Structure 1
Amino acid sequence: MDQEWTLVPKDGLTQLKFGMLVSDVAKLSEIYGAVEAASTNPITPGVADDNDDFLSKYFSDDELAKDKDHVDESTDEATVITQRLTGSSLVLDYLNGRLQSIIASEQADQINLSGERIFQMESDKLLRLLESANGSPGRYDSTGAAFDNIALYLDGFTETNSDGKIIILTRSDDRFESRTITARHERYQINDFLPEGKIQSFL
């Protein structure tokens, strides 16, 4: 159902919320899909610090202390975990076992924002919608578009040419079928997703 696939910037999907444990996400497999593939990587000190800042928005100091003690005892959770789900092909990233980003492709065509299915919208209409929600123009470079205030990131919807012009990609372009939208708990740091980028308004 579409109501289970409503995207709420910086919060997640209807039931798939940033900050959830891997085990809690697994309970939603009938809605969003079971794990098809997964990979893990060690957390670097800098990433661990960023994760502590992220979790402090969702949990009390006592809860964080308990969680940290558990992680210290379990090397399996002291990792960056990436999962791909069946059916929807959602890609989920976790830090210390807590959901921090959701990447959706066209296979998850139910995903919607403000009552509109993202992958069924005309790209220029989607860009206007995101720009309005962002409260400012997006940043563009190559095939990426960044809407930092709402922590939403597109790839494959547009292309920035050598003259800095933003071109809307259509189904005639091979890259169109590989479109993705990434939702995060907070914005990327500049250059993590795009360089400083080119500012463009579609309103």
Structure 2
Amino acid sequence: MSPTADDWTIEPGQGLGRLRFGIAPAAVEALSQIYGSATSRMEDRISDSILQDTIAELGDSLTEEEKRDLLQVYAEQGPDNSSVTEVRDDGGLVLRYEHDRLVELTVLARRTEVRIGEVLVFSDDVPAVLQAAEAINRAPGLYSGTAAAFPHAKLMIEGFTERTTVDPVVMSRRDERYAQRSLSMFETIDTSGDFVPFTWRKD
């Protein structure tokens, strides 16, 4: 099975190439010639016993009420019991499953063939990448810190821009965070928090 350009092309709201939301780990494994072999696989949820031991080690730094609140928050907002993270391609690709269904994927910058349409995501033409993301999102992106979210496309990119004042600016290539750029896709994307809209289109 030989990789093609389509295998590393973003499919808005659906996934990356043949990695579509909802497919099973076995189906991903069948694509290992394209997306690399799994190098690790681990459950995301901390066991109750480990969590209890960790809180106990905090001793008197937390009140009993704070400890109970912490346990309650983790019970309500922590990872699903079925959540599993899998690392492939020597760390270049990270996948997360729930109930044996692909629900999230992250690609690191060394996968230079990743594209949105005809635009290479990890090229140095950041405005072109953001314009392409807006096009498949059919709306301006949402920006917070170093994250840019495109909710309709189920897409988020990190390290391309930084918003420290009102509008985001392109991250300097000399900034170490630029070298650590990543692209993530989510079956369900969360943009709660301090996200603001901004467009890179030049009408």
Same structural fold, with TM-score higher than 0.5 when normalized by the shorter chain: yes
- Counterpart CA distance in 2 for 1:45 and 1:132 is 38
TM normalised by structure 2 equals: 0.76
Aligned to 1:25, which of 24, 28, 36? 28
State the match for 2:138 in structure 1: 135
SS of match in other structure, 1:183:
strand
Larger Rg: 2
Verify: 1:202 aligned to 2:196, yes or no: no
2:151 is aligned with 1:110: no
12-21 vs 79-88, which moves further:
79-88
Distance, in Å, in 2 between the alignment partners of 1:108 and 1:129 is 18
For residue 169 of structure 2, what is the amino acid of its counterpart? I
Question: Alignment partner of 1:119: what SS?
Answer: coil
Mapping of residues 49-88 of structure 1, within 5 Å: 79-87=82-90
How far apart are 1:185 and its partner, in Å?
2.2
How far did residue 81 of structure 1 move? 0.7
Q: Sequence identity, in percent? A: 25
Say yes or no: does 1:190 pair with 2:191. yes
Change (3 A) 1:36 1:126: same
Q: Compute the displacement of 1:97 (Å).
A: 0.9
Out of 155, 159, 174, the residue aligned to residue 156 of structure 1 is 159
Aligned to 1:75: none
Alpha-carbon distance between aligned partners in 1 of 2:76 and 2:25, rounded to the nearest angstrom: 22
After superposition, the C-alpha distances for 1:143-166 in whole angstroms (9 at most, x for unaligned) are 0111111111011000011x2231
Q: Assess, with a 3 A threshold, how the Cα gap between structure 1 residues 130 and 39 changes in structure 2: closer, same or farther.
A: same
CA separation in 2, counterparts of 1:35 and 1:120?
A: 26
Deviation at 1:99, TM superposition (A): 0.4
After TM superposition, give the deviation of residue 129 of structure 1 in Å: 1.2
Could you tell me which runs of 5 or more consecutive residues in structure 2 were left unpaired when the two chains were aligned: 47-73
1-structure distance, mates of 2:131, 2:36 = 30
State the one-letter code of the partner of 2:97: Y
SS at match of 1:170: coil
TM-score, with length taken from structure 1 = 0.76
Shift of 1:87: 4.5
Q: Indicate yes or no: 2:15 matched with 1:12.
A: yes
137-146 or 3-12, which moves further after superposition? 3-12
